[in-house]
Amino acid sequence: TVVGIAEIVADAAVAGRSNGTTMRPGVEVTELASGLRVASEFRPDVHGVAFGTWIRVGSRDEAEPVAGVSHLIEHLLFRGTERHDSLSIAESFDRFGAELQASTSREETDIYARVLGEHLPEAIDIVGSMVAKPEFNDIEPEREVVLEELALYEDTPDDLVHDLLGSQLFPDQAVGRPIAGFVRTVDGLDERTIRDHHAAHYNANQIVFAAAGAIEHAELLALVEASFDGLQTGIVGERIAAIASTGGESFLERDTEQTHIAIGGVGIGRQDERRFAMAVLDQILGGGASSRLWQEIREQRGLVYSVYSYVAYLEETGQIGLALGTRTENLSEALEVASAEIGSLAAGQFRAGEVVRAKENLKARLLLNMDSTAARMSRLGRSLVSNVPLMTDTEVARRIDEVPESDVQALVAELYSPAGLTVAGIGPDEAAFAAAVEIFRQPVGGAA
């Protein structure tokens, strides 16, 4: 499952912003005068501190001619700042015994690490400088790195097929474009464009700093204020609503051993009250080793090596789907079985114990994640950058337990109709793909 319990925890809605108040035991959130929000969860029983910075900018915030600029900036932050060059950044985190990582998604950019408490002041100083005062003087070598990343992606059909699906499901929109952009757009990004994009989005009121571990909130505030100096307060722009084009197909012919399939449709937004039912559904359909897709397509019939379902949440909408890879001769049967399992769930034909088992899985993973300071830090950062504060673990578990089978069935019927889903494929035989998709879309009666 691409998005599961972590999204539920991070996106659970309660009230608005907090300022220096406790949201749950051990958690405090403060909004600085600049608008930057700082969140911490005190864990005195650990040696280290997991921390991260979230910036409300991603590929969704880009015009088509500059597609990939957010991702390129994420890379360039590591290339040096006014206070730290790229080598000193790398050497410092090696000395800390830590790995500084970053990622870009459709709606956010994040930079994160886990260090010992004694190294935290220096680590925060470095990251604050990277975010607030990057040099952007060493663009060309990093552009080449990103172009190599794009080339690698082109050679990875089980990843590339998801980009193909996005462009078909959300055509001619930023939300449907590859997060890293295209070769032609990355090639065309000049220093002025990069600096302008950073200035427009890396503003204090679009940034969240979160930490979990052996750090007091007051101490963290002082470190962040000192390290993230110079940030301006900007305008948080409204995002253009995504408009889906459902029921289409897209195929890319490649000389591959397998045909790689991604099937998707419009999901729900991260504040939708049905997200708990969605998590239960995703777990039943393709979220684990006992799920419908895994058992029926892989274990019982041996048609695939990998098959899974997924859920992705955005501000006002989302994406649901499933993916698999199989030899061309197995493709029609694999998609026929997938369609039958969707039809079975849409008809309310639940198997003995599967709903309870899915709920227990979600609750267990919720609690196991809480053993990790990185997971605690991540849920703080993700929730606040999305302006969706946290529920307690107890409340999330209760909401999962309360999901009725009828809500799961209703979601399948509304969102997973094979006739309305979009299908993308990469493989050697377009005719075999078209025939398999036709079989997938045919109405079937599910059999429990």
Instruction: Kindly report, residue by residue over 118-131, the tens digit of the pLDDT.
Output: 999 999 999 999 99
Q: How many domains does the chain have?
A: 2
227, 260, 283: which is the final residue of a domain? 227
Does residue 241 belong to any structural domain of this protein?
no
Two tokens at 250? Answer: 């897209």
Three-state DSSP class for 16?
coil
| Whether 400 and 316 share a structural domain | yes
DSSP output for 256-285 = -SEEEEEEEEE---TT-TTHHHHHHHHHHH
Q: Each residue of 291-348: pLDDT tens digit?
A: 999 999 999 999 999 999 999 999 999 999 999 999 999 999 999 999 999 999 999 9
| Whether 378 and 305 share a structural domain | yes
Q: Each residue of 90-137: pLDDT tens digit?
A: 999 999 999 999 999 999 999 999 999 999 999 999 999 999 999 998
Q: What are 295-301's contacts with CB under 8 Å, separation 24+?
A: 296/337, 296/340, 296/341, 297/324, 297/334, 297/337, 297/338, 301/333, 301/334, 301/337
Strand order in the sheet with 258-266: 249-253, 422-427, 258-266, 318-327, 307-313
pLDDT at residue number 23: 55
Q: What is the 3-state secondary structure (H, E, C) of 168-212?
A: HHCCCCHHHCCCCCCHHHHHCCCHHHHHHHHHHHCCHHHEEEEEE
- CA quadruple 211, 214, 217, 222: dihedral sign: negative
| Whether 33 and 155 share a structural domain | yes
Half-sphere exposure of 146 (CA within 13 A, CB side): 29
Does residue 1 belong to any structural domain of this protein?
no
pLDDT category of residue 13 using cuts at 50, 70 and 90: very low
| Whether 167 and 42 share a structural domain | yes
User: Measuring CA to CA, how many Å separate 104 from each of 4, 72, 251, 379?
Assistant: 18, 9, 26, 16
| Whether 174 and 257 share a structural domain | no
pLDDT at residue number 151: 98
The residue behind tokens 């700093």 is: 209
Q: Which domain, by its residues, includes 433?
A: 249-441
Q: Is residue 249 exposed (0-12), middle (13-18) or buried (19+ Cβ within 10 Å)?
A: middle
Does residue 62 belong to any structural domain of this protein?
yes
| Whether 381 and 330 share a structural domain | yes
| Whether 253 and 361 share a structural domain | yes
Does residue 167 belong to any structural domain of this protein?
yes
Does residue 4 belong to any structural domain of this protein?
no
**What mean pLDDT value characterizes the chain?**
93
| Whether 21 and 128 share a structural domain | yes
Inform me whether the pLDDT recorded for 407 exceeds 60: yes
Q: Each residue of 369-401: pLDDT tens digit?
A: 989 999 999 999 999 999 886 888 899 999 999
Query: Of the listed 41, 74, 135, 315, which one is catalytic?
Result: 74
Does residue 234 belong to any structural domain of this protein?
no
Does residue 206 belong to any structural domain of this protein?
yes
Q: What is the CATH number of the domain that holds 334?
A: 3.30.830.10
Q: Residue 434: which of 445, 442, 425, 421 has the closest Cα? A: 425
| Whether 167 and 278 share a structural domain | no
Q: Residue 259: which of 153, 151, 157, 163 has the closest Cα? A: 157
| Whether 93 and 220 share a structural domain | yes
Q: Residue 285: which of 310, 312, 250 has the closest Cα? A: 310
Does residue 12 belong to any structural domain of this protein?
no
| Whether 197 and 337 share a structural domain | no
pLDDT at residue number 240: 87
74 is catalytic: yes
| Whether 39 and 126 share a structural domain | yes
